[in-house]
Chains A and B, each alone.
Chain A
Amino acid sequence: MNRSYPYLRTAILMWVTAVIVGAFLLRIPKMSILEHTARNLYFHVPMWFTMMAGMALSAFHAVGVLARPGREHDLRSATAAQTAMLFGVLGMVTGIVWARVTWYQGTDIWWNFDPRQTFAAMSLLVYAAYFVLRSQIDDIEQRARICAVYNVFAFTTVPFLLYILPRQVTSLHPGAEGNPAFSDITDPRMRLVFYPAVIGFIALFWLLYNQRVRLGRLLAAADRTSSEHDRSLAS
């Protein structure tokens, strides 16, 4: 892992750069209303896919905390949730700006009730509550366990929020009642950049997550060393 990591990192960064360049320079089919803002598709949707992947990873490690208690799974669970939230916020911002220039063009509004948008915002609130909970418990092992329980519990409601409910309610998003499915409206030319974009942003997530996990491990080790040092000085 350590040996190949620099090469992997370079490869991922080059891939994402290629995706961004391709997103802005390659041709896209002509679409009414959307026109060139359709390029946002390459960013907005992969951000959300990445957030969901991150949340799944966080829940996976939360189960790991419950099965095998220890610092490692807890650190990974929290880091995955944190990084997933970053991508979620980016997805939300790209969505708001995109809606402002397309759906809400001509009006003065930033936010209208769109079910999928509201559900996504609530998902972010659920994970923000996870971090509030983390700050509320002092004992390290108990905190790991209780927060893992909340993580798994919250994750069971995510499929409701992000998949089942948006399809039942009318919405401007594709895939909701009254709109064609997402795969129906994505032209093959767009898929050429879209699928690499999804892969690229998930890989970018993994990069950030990996670095933060290693940072967390180092900080924990530094904490332990300094407290041992203090103890040895005191004796």
Chain B
Amino acid sequence: MSVVREALVVLSKDLRLEWRTRAAISALILFVLSTVFLIVYSVAGEDLQPRTDAAMLWVVVVFSAAIGMGRSFVTEEEQQTATLLRLHASPGAVYTGKLLFNFLLLVTVSVLAVASFVFLLNVDVASGGLMIATVVLGALALAGATTLLSAIVSKTRAGAAVLPILLLPLLLPLLGAAVLATTAAIDGSAWSEASDHLVTLAAFAGVTIAASLLLFDQVWND
């Protein structure tokens, strides 16, 4: 099988398993909703600047990713399906499949976060297209950073618990660019002003995915 087909097989396997148990997605949804309600309560109806809204949105998304994404490789080790996966697919295919799966999860989480901010915190997003572009690129960059790291933490003693420690410092470029782009989307600025930030997001996604593809081999095969 070609790498692309192998990757799609890994992706469909993960999607099917996820659909049966809905463990990861329900945990993520509940985490996002609980956090947003905490924010709503803490803010207590005060008017917030677009920059603050954007910052809180991405902090919520990043923390959801740090807490919810740790399990993707850990379950393989626990259920002892890892060996089977190693036999059937090349490392690049396994990585790409997991990356796509994480990307879909993170897009869902981000859309949910944006929706809850719009409804619960009365954030008025002026430029919808820019918001969608930011969410998609941001989720891709986040998935790129998270997938390799979740493979790394599956080998540690503490497992998924150590993922936030490894992940959060690396996400600073992502966070900065995403918050600035989201602020531009809420303000309704032209695309040309936010293009700098979108390019940074895309570049970050490209760099992390390229580095992960090269390094994943070393983590996967022991």
Contacts and interface: CB of A to CB of B under 8 A. Distances in A.
A146 interface: yes
Interface string B104-147: 00000000000000000000000000000000000000000000
B152 A146 contact: yes
A142 B155 contact: yes
A149 B95 CA distance: 15
Interface stretch (B18-26, B75-83, B169-177): B169-177
Interface residues of B, number: 28
Nearest to A145: B218
Contacts, number: 81
A154 B170 contact: yes
Interface stretch (B3-11, B41-49, B183-191, B206-214): B206-214
Interface in B188-222: 196, 200, 203-204, 207-208, 211-212, 215, 218-219, 222
A137 B156 contact: yes
Contacts of A129: 165-166, 169
Interface of A: 66, 118-119, 122-123, 125-126, 128-129, 132-133, 136-138, 142, 145-146, 148-150, 152-154, 156-157, 160-161, 164-165, 168-169
18 contacts: A66-B218, A123-B169, A129-B166, A132-B162, A132-B166, A133-B156, A142-B222, A146-B152, A146-B155, A148-B218, A149-B218, A150-B149, A150-B166, A152-B215, A153-B170, A157-B170, A157-B173, A157-B208
Interface of B: 148-149, 152, 155-158, 162, 165-166, 168-170, 172-173, 176, 196, 200, 203-204, 207-208, 211-212, 215, 218-219, 222
